[in-house]
């Protein structure tokens, strides 16, 4: 897996999230999550890492749509990728995944400046 702490200058780092995002950086993260398809992708990735074609199949969207929105999520720092042969495998940033699955923050993303709680109904929507 790619080093999760090395991002280009416009990406939010998990160190920033662990401390507290500025209002400006928090807005970038929320903007990345502001599209329904991106929330579906994040939901899918919370269940495990996947390539673009698997995600597209699971959420019922086409490959190019999913690829575009994964780029947005990756640029925001919410998603990381790794190359496995001819495939690029995506996953939720490990720090966010750990935080999301922790007992204290079950089903919520806490960015310190704000948090997003996912309803169980939302998380169960695409099971199957």
Per the listing, tokens 């929105």 go with: 69
Burial letters for 43-82: b for 16+ Cβ neighbours within 10 Å, e otherwise?
bbbbeebbbbebbbebbebeeeebbebbebbbbbbbbbbe
Number of C-beta neighbours around residue 31 at 10 A: 12
Q: What is the pLDDT of residues 5-35, one digit of tens each?
A: 333 334 555 565 555 667 777 788 889 989 9
Q: What pLDDT does 19 receive?
A: 59
Q: Which residue has the higher pLDDT, 5 or 41?
A: 41
Does the pLDDT of residue 38 top 90, yes or no? yes
Q: Which of 19, 33, 50 is nearest to 126 (CA)?
A: 50
Q: What is the pLDDT of residues 65-108, one digit of tens each?
A: 999 999 999 998 899 999 999 999 999 988 778 777 775 656 67
For the chain, domains (ranges, CATH) are 14-122 (1.10.10.10)
Q: Which residue has the higher pLDDT, 43 or 120?
A: 43
């Amino acid at each position: 897996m790619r080093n999760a702490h090395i991002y280009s200058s416009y990406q939010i780092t998990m160190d920033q999230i662990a401390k507290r995002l500025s209002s400006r950086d928090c807005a970038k993260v929320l903007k990345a999550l502001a599209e329904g398809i991106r929330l579906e992708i994040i939901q899918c990735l919370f269940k495990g890492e996947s390539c673009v074609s698997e995600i597209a199949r699971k959420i019922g969207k086409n490959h190019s749509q999913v690829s575009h929105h994964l780029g947005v999520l990756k640029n925001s720092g919410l998603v990381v990728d790794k190359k496995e042969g001819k495939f690029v495998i995506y996953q939720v940033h490990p720090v966010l995944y750990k935080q999301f699955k922790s007992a204290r923050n079950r089903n919520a993303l806490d960015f310190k400046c704000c948090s997003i709680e996912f309803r169980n109904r939302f998380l169960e929507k695409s099971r199957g």
